[in-house]
Amino acid sequence: MTNLFALKTAAQSHVDKIAPNKVKFTLEKNEQGRNELVMRYCHYRIDGELVWFTKTCRPDALEADLLINYIEKRADFLNANYYWQAQAQKANVHPQMFKQWRNEFKRTSSDVISYLDKDPELVK
């Protein structure tokens, strides 16, 4: 028999490292009166409202790992601020693809160096 409290605690500890304050694991009674592991996570909608989503799993380590993996794949999106979450949703970017999409907007130090090489006046 799986220790649900230990499973919940381990899952919460893991997701707190990758998406702090965005995911909450709880143990709740289902319709049959049995405990099950419930995961709630949040992000902003385009209109700025913070919304929570719920996923429930069977009380076993494999199911908990699937929920953790689900969050790992979306951590960059969940950790982004409202502006970037809204921009991604407007662009119809799946949360799992957020990091790749967002990286298209980032400048690297080599971008800046090559830009400065083209205009020596900026270095003065």
Using one digit for the tens of pLDDT, what is the confidence trace for 7-36? 999 999 999 999 999 999 999 998 999 889
**DSSP string of the chain, one letter each residue:** ---HHHHHHHHHHHHHHHSTTTEEEEEEE-TTS-EEEEEEEEEE-TTS-EEEEEEEE-SSHHHHHHHHHHHHHHHHHHHS-HHHHHHHHHTT--GGGHHHHHHTT---HHHHHHHHHH-GGGG-
The token pair at 46 is 């385009």
pLDDT score, position 122: 44
Would you say residue 43 has pLDDT above 80?
Answer: yes
pLDDT per residue as tens digits for the range 52-90: 999 988 777 888 899 999 999 999 999 999 999 999 999
Q: Which of 32, 36, 74 lies closest to 53, judged by CA?
A: 74
Residues near 58 by beta carbon (within 8 Å), at least 6 away in sequence:
36, 37
- Residues 14, 20: contact at Cβ < 8 Å? no
CA atoms within 13 A of residue 113's CA, in its CB half-sphere:
3
pLDDT at 115 over 50: no
Question: To the nearest whole number, what is the mean pLDDT of the chain?
Answer: 85
